[in-house]
Amino acid sequence: MVTEQLAAKDAGFIPPHVPDHLVKDIDFRYAPEIAQDPWTYFASATEGEPIFWTPRNGGHWIVSGTEIVEEVFRKHELFSNGVVMIPPPPRPQSIPSSLDPPEHGKYRKIMSQRMFSPSALRSIEEHMDGVIEELCGKMLPGGECEFIDAFARPLPVALVLKLMGLPPARQQDFCEWSRMMFHGQSVEEHLDGYKQAFGFLGDWVAEERATAQAGASDDIGPFLSALVEGRVDDRPLTLDECHSLSMLLLGAGVDTVTSQMSHAMQHMALYPQDAQRLISHPELIPKAIEELMRRYGIANITRVAGKDMEYRGVSMKKGDLVLCATAMGGLDDSVFDSAMTVDFDRQPSKTRHTPFGAGPHICPGAYLARTILRTALERLLPAMPNLRIAAGEELSYVSGITISLTRLPLQWDVPAAE
């Protein structure tokens, strides 16, 4: 019996309301198969079962398939955002990502109307070309690089710093803190990265807010002005709320773009015919990005059952954790023919996959993320002829809140100097 095998193997947690036939031994974080090919593991581990329980990582449900993943994202009255990670983090709540409607909407409004306003996004787009040129200037002439450190991390860091009005001189620190937080080699390194970013942002927000409130700064930008002027229930935001919002932007806006961009570039290095097609037809790039986000979904999002309930015939108890992985939404063979194949000509399906989530928490950075990915591919692909994975290197992946490459060593041809 699966239950007995698992109980003997790692004493995983299976609560009494979970029937044996719904238990599967799936470890979305540490399964050894993930290092080689996380998407094959995610797509096949479920064996077509839409809802099942895994005893790994403290025990939780996993939902699988395009329709159900989207439904769980949307149905906040059943599935709460009260726990944002598996296993649950020993940290304070994150605003607004760990709140449910209607509380969530009060903060979300400040974010969507001010921090991600069209004019804020326009100024980022104007800034982006300069950052890309600077990174390309350092990277392209060498003919090889480790792409994550050279481009995929510094680009979103620079843009998120700009969005928030943080000093560009701290870019290197933020790159390092982001690397430690999401890809630290140990729990200690992960917590150290978090503490350093948290400490810096806490001091910075307090100082800048005080200066702005005293009317001592001229142009404070959309992020700080949202923190200073934003109101919840007719009161100003507290310092803790401002701090939490700033940590969220850093946490949500950097590693996601880094991961998604490196998966896109590794695909281009492994499938030169796809790279060549996009070089010849750059107008296909926006569609290609949607397809690459479907095939290489990265976000492992958590929900928690808000009450005891029967959901699609399965008994869940209040407090049960539920993993909603966008990879499992995008690789549904019943919706996407040959789902593991990247096909830029795929017809838009009626049932859309959800790389940016759905419902109240849908990613407010989606437009910015798509713009960054499109601009980067347009600039990089023609400038990296014969793009390939560096000779002798093997790719390996890790899975946590995002599915990421550990390194992406690339090589390309550099035209001989005239």
Instruction: CB nearer to ligand HEM: give 26 or 369.
Output: 369
313-352: which residues touch ligand HEM (CB under 6 A)? 326
Q: Is residue 361 a contact point for ligand HEM (CB under 6 A)?
A: yes
Residue count (the chain): 418
DSSP state of 42: H
Question: What 3-state DSSP class applies to 170?
Answer: helix
Angle (deg, nearest 10), helices 239-253 and 171-183: 80
Among the listed residues 255, 253, 355, 250, the one whose alpha carbon sits nearest the alpha carbon of residue 297 = 355
**And the tokens for 16?**
């009494």
- Does residue number 179 form part of the binding site for ligand HEM (CB under 6 A)? no
Verify binding: residue 296, ligand HEM, rule CB under 6 A: no
Backbone φ and ψ for 399, nearest 5 degrees, come out as -130, 135
| Contact string 156-175 vs ligand HEM (x = CB under 6 A) | ----x--x------------
Rounded Cα–Cα distance for residues 261 and 269 (Å):
12
- In Å, how far from its chain's centre is CA 347? 25
Number of residues near ligand HEM (by CB under 6 A): 27
Residues 300, 165, 99, 52, Cα dihedral to 10°: 0
Q: From 59-67, 217-225, 246-254, 388-396, give the range in contact with ligand HEM by CB under 6 A.
A: 246-254
Q: Per rule CB under 6 A, is residue 257 in the interface with ligand HEM?
A: yes
Taking CB under 6 A as the binding criterion, the range among 38-46, 208-216, 268-276, 360-368 that sits at the site for ligand HEM is 360-368
Beta bridge partners of 305: 79
List beta partners, residue 267: none
Q: Nearest-CB residue to ligand HEM? A: 365
> For helices 255-270 and 239-253, what crossing angle results, to 10°?
0
Stretch near ligand HEM under the rule CB under 6 A, chosen from 167-175, 183-191, 197-205, 355-363 = 355-363
Cβ atoms of 13 and 59 within 8 Å: the answer is yes
Question: Binding ligand HEM by CB under 6 A: which of 220, 248, 285, 381?
Answer: 248
Q: Please report whether residue 355 would count as binding ligand HEM according to CB under 6 A.
A: yes
CA distance 101 to 418: 62
Q: Please, which residue, 46 or 98, has the CB nearer to ligand HEM?
A: 98
Q: Judge contact between 405 and 266, C-beta under 8 A.
A: yes
| One character per residue 57-86, x = contact with ligand HEM (rule: CB under 6 A) | ----------------x-------x-----
Q: Closest CB to ligand HEM among 256 and 266?
A: 256
Q: Does 298 bind ligand HEM (CB under 6 A)?
A: yes
Residues 185-214 contacting ligand HEM, CB under 6 A: none
Scanning residues 93 to 152, which ones bind ligand HEM (CB under 6 A)? 96-97, 108
DSSP letter at 359? G
Which of 224, 228, 285, 363: binder of ligand HEM (CB under 6 A)?
Answer: 363
Strands (E), 35-100: 51-54, 60-63, 79-80
Contacting range for ligand HEM; rule: CB under 6 A; set: 10-18, 40-48, 200-208, 357-365: 357-365
Widest CA span in the chain: 73
Binding ligand HEM (rule: CB under 6 A), the pick from 222, 329, 357, 409 is 357
- Show the binding pattern over residues 367-396: x = contacts ligand HEM (CB under 6 A), - = does not: -xx---------------------------
Cα distance between residue 246 and residue 244, in whole Å: 5
Residues at the site binding ligand HEM, with contacts judged by CB under 6 A: 73, 81, 96-97, 108, 160, 163, 248-249, 252-253, 256-257, 260, 298-299, 301, 326, 355-357, 361, 363-365, 368-369
